[in-house]
Structure 1
Amino acid sequence: MTSVRLVIVDDHPVVRDGLRGMLGTQPDLEIVGEAASGAEALTVVAATSPDVVLTDLRMPSPSGAALIRLLRERVPATRVLVLTTHDTDSDVLPAVEAGAIGYLLKDVPREELFRAVRAAARNESVLSPSVVALLLDRVRPRQPVTKARLSAREREVLALIARGKTNREAAAELHISEATVKTHLLHVYAKLEVPDRASAVAAAYQRGILRPERDA
């Protein structure tokens, strides 16, 4: 199993300790460094070249979008995954625009965090349901609030993807092939007129096809 090399960035030692202990239980997640500030993060990441940086937004400078932008410029192969308590548009939008591959809140269940880190390493977008509608509303043209005619199976696949499942995990849960899952997703993209997984999930929440309290 190929390990995902990870750097944790948070200015609270207790949070870093907790994340290290939790992520360290996964044999395929290797923590190669930690940082308590943006400046320290830039140094650690430059020295370790991790696959993923798991970072909070607010900490000693540079932080937030400025830190994400610097990381993406200096180590473009490294993906930046935000883990924070802040989900306002003034936090979410700059982070995504700066190049964050995903945006999670700190109340995310641990299994979802594990999946998100792995997905980020594969260059797949990961968004908390609570920020999806906000992100779509702000950065994409407003679409008609109507329900697309998704089949029951397409809705099942989309609901699993919204919970962070990979194509393989969705296939196993639905007892279908991974190729079939991919086909269903292509149909979903076409019907919702979106280009990717994150946009499909966002559009589904906005149009009422998925409901956060039920599907998240």
Structure 2
Amino acid sequence: MFRLAAERAQDALKIRRARWPEPRHVILLGDAALAADVQTALAAWGAPVARLGAAEAAERADAYTLVIGVAEAPAGRAGWDRLDDAARRGAGWIRAYREDGLYLVDPLAVGDRGPTAAQVLARRRAASNAPQAWQAWRNATTAAAAPPGLADPAAQAHQLSRILALSAAWARGTAGVDETSLLQRYDAAAARLSHHRVLAFDPTPATALSAGAVE
């Protein structure tokens, strides 16, 4: 009887480690309802999860850390830019956020793979048929002081699914091109889910601009 119990415990441990290999852990940013769902799901996998602010997360993140930022309003993304440096040092970095009726999950950033938030924004602007109008809409959306209103349940379900898929790929070391380059976008008004390729790139160094170059 005791042997059977020990074998079952060993099997359960193997399953848990297969879901979430040690010693990898998660730092979760944000107080949105979706963040609580992410924490519950990851804890069920056996992932250690800590809730921290962006500044502390940037200091503590290392190659064994996955940082997940979740925000429903622009104010919730304050300080997220600090995590780009942590990603370059080897930490995993996932961003999920809302812009009015759009619900987005950026590609996983880790090491030299995966775009920064600024690169995702530049790609979205370039893909617009009217970049200036798009930029004006986004500026108005991100500057709005009022809360964005109730979240769309289907949109949050898509965000949660994508966050967990990226988290599992990072933890197991199986993240490929799709995980590190696909932006997920859900338009709640149209109930439409889409994915868009966004590639990371090295910023152009100032020294590369010649005297005759046009900025």
Q: TM-score range by the shorter chain?
A: 0.3 to 0.5
Q: Which has the higher strand share?
A: 2
TM-score by length of 2: 0.42
Larger of the two Rg values belongs to structure: 2
TM-score by length of 1: 0.42
